[in-house]
C-alpha cells in the first residue's frame, strides 16, 4: 500500500514530545537536528588474501540530538530538567526519558516519527548575542540517547 502523503515532505512542521513527566506545553522548537544512525567498520586483513580487506561492522552510533528554540523561562519544564542535570552537581540521579519527534502534515497528523530512548541533556548553550542583528535569542539543548527507531 502506498502512502498518499506528498513526496518530498516539508520539514518545517514538526512536533517534539517528551515523556509525560515534562508535560506537553514545552515542545516548541525552531530546529531539531541529529536524527540519524551510522555503522562504522573495522578493517581486517586476511593473511594470504591480497585482493581485498574485510570490513566488519562495529556497533551502531547515533549523533546527539540538538534542539533549538527561543530562550525559555526559568519555570519551563525542559529548563528545570536541564538545570537539574547540568547544574545539579550530580546530587540527584539523572532522569533519562523517551523523546518522540513527529513530522506533521497540513492536517496536524504525524506522517513520519522517530523515537529516542533514554535521552538526557549533555550540553546547554545560548547563541551569541549581536547588537547589529534583530533576531530572537536562541538556546541550544544537546541530548544524548541510547538508540532511536523510526516508527512511522
Place of cell 561492522: 57
Average per-residue pLDDT for the chain: 90
pLDDT digits (tens, 9 = 90+) for 74-84: 998 899 999 99
Helix (H) or strand (E) holding 86: helix 77-86
Residue 24 has pLDDT above 80, yes or no: no
CA atoms of 83 and 74, how far apart (whole Å)? 9
Cβ atoms < 10 Å from Cβ of 141: 21
What's the pLDDT at 2? 45
Number of residues in the chain: 152
Residue 61 has pLDDT above 80, yes or no: yes
Please give the average per-residue pLDDT across 30-42, as a whole number. Answer: 96
Confidence of residue 1 (pLDDT cuts 50, 70, 90): very low
pLDDT digits (tens, 9 = 90+) for 97-127: 999 999 998 888 999 999 999 999 999 999 9
Return all residues near 11 (Cβ < 8 A) that are at least 6 apart: 103
Residue 91 has pLDDT above 50, yes or no: yes
Cα distances from 68 to residues 31, 57, 61, 62, in angstroms, run 5, 33, 22, 19
Residue 58 has pLDDT above 90, yes or no: yes
Note the pTM of the prediction, 2 decimals: 0.87
What's the pLDDT at 30? 94
Amino acid at each position: 500500500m502506498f502512502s498518499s502523503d506528498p513526496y518530498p515532505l516539508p520539514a518545517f512542521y514538526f512536533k517534539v514530545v517528551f515523556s509525560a513527566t515534562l508535560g506537553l506545553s514545552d515542545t516548541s522548537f525552531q530546529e531539531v537536528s541529529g536524527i540519524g544512525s551510522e555503522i562504522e567498520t573495522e578493517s581486517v586483513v586476511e593473511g594470504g588474501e591480497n585482493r581485498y580487506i574485510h570490513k566488519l561492522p562495529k556497533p551502531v552510533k547515533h549523533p546527539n540530538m540538538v534542539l533549538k528554540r527561543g530562550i525559555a523561562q526559568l519555570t519551563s519544564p525542559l529548563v528545570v530538567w536541564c538545570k537539574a542535570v547540568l547544574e545539579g552537581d550530580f546530587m540527584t540521579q539523572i532522569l533519562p526519558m523517551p523523546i518522540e519527534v513527529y513530522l506533521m502534515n497540513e492536517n496536524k497528523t504525524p506522517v513520519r516519527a522517530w523515537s529516542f530512548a533514554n535521552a538526557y541533556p549533555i550540553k546547554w548553550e545560548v547563541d551569541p548575542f549581536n547588537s547589529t542583528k534583530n533576531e530572537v535569542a536562541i538556546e541550544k539543548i544537546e541530548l544524548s540517547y541510547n538508540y532511536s527507531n523510526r516508527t512511522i
